[in-house]
Amino acid sequence: MSSKLTVELGVPGDKITVPRIGLGLMGMSAMYGPASDDESVKVLNHAIDIGCTFWDTADVYGGGHNERLIAKALKERRNNVVICTKFAAVFDEPGLDFDGNIDSIIRGVSGDPLYVHKAVKDSLKRLNVDCIDLYCQHRMDPKVPVEETVKAMAELVQQGKVRYLGLSECTEEHLRRAYKVHPIAAVEVEYSPWSTQIETNGLLDACRELGVTVIAYAPLGRGFLTGQIRKFEDLNEVDWRRHNPRFKSEHFENNLKLVDAFVEVAEKHKCKPGQVALSWLLAQYDNLIVIPGTRRIKYLDENFAAGQVHLSEDELKYLREKVNSANIQGERY
């Protein structure tokens, strides 16, 4: 990977240094079955201890639970962490029978300016912070022009409630239009050996041109590279991936084939395939952050140590050829 282990996140004239390997927190509250808050807090505190201090969450994860979990973990350590949270998914407060499947509580998407102000107020309260470092529109609202939403988000910056603005799962057009209203610090998008659409749809090129940081979520292919999933039946009953097209039994075996190339390179480096994948991904763009998620300290350490895996130009080229020739089947969602 690039020898550069940090990026300068922010906007012209106001930037902060953050690690290129961050932490995605969704799995601690949603989509993969029950998690222990006590264990999650231990993982989060360990993340601070090792320097994994860029944390990605969203108001909808666990119906607000994920943001409250961060508040529990931070307490006296707020200044040690850069928090990215997201809004736009309009959701109901979950009941006692909530199983973590956020699809069951989402009522729609809103980029309405009034909703922007309500959402940030709620997130600040749940996080127990005065200012959110990076505030992103989680999904684009087809009913509200992105300019109107970003104008409202910019008001939050002026009010001191938010430092930087970002967009998630946007198009190149959305980014360029938004940037004309207010500088956009980051774009969050799925980016992994299995999902490279950002490279061909113009979005990565626009980020390079504008100096926008890319935050790559699901960088390990939603678990393909963890080594814990070798067949569809390895997914527990409440794991949302059972309903994901790429994990369906008719696609699973084919999509797993790409793992072999990363295993091969990992054996040469005496490291894990997932570490090779993170290193490969970071080499694609110097202004990129990966946010692999985990609930366990063991895997947090493993992911963060990917920064010490240095791939040769030949290895990067070999993996690129394998990624480009892979016939990935099934939609992302």
104: DSSP letter: G
CA dihedral 149, 152, 153, 154 (to 10 degrees): 120
89, β-bridge pairs: 109
DSSP 200-230: TSSHHHHHHHHTPEEEEESTTGGGTTSSS-S
Give the type of residue at 123.
S
162, β-bridge pairs: 132
Q: Which of 295, 242, 308 shows the shortest CA–CA distance to 24?
A: 295
> Which is it for strands 106-109 and 14-19: parallel, antiparallel or unpaired?
unpaired
Give catalytic status of residue 179 as yes or no. no
How far apart are alpha carbons 172 and 208 in whole angstroms?
11
How far apart are alpha carbons 123 and 106 in whole angstroms?
16
CA distance from start to end of the chain: 29
> Which is it for strands 89-91 and 106-109: parallel, antiparallel or unpaired?
antiparallel
Give the type of residue at 72.
K
Strands (E), the chain: 6-11, 14-19, 23-24, 54-56, 82-87, 89-91, 106-109, 132-137, 162-168, 186-190, 213-217, 288-290
- Tokens linked to 43: 């993982």
Of the listed 61, 164, 217, 299, which one is catalytic? Answer: 61
Task: Give the residue numbers marked as catalytic.
Answer: 61
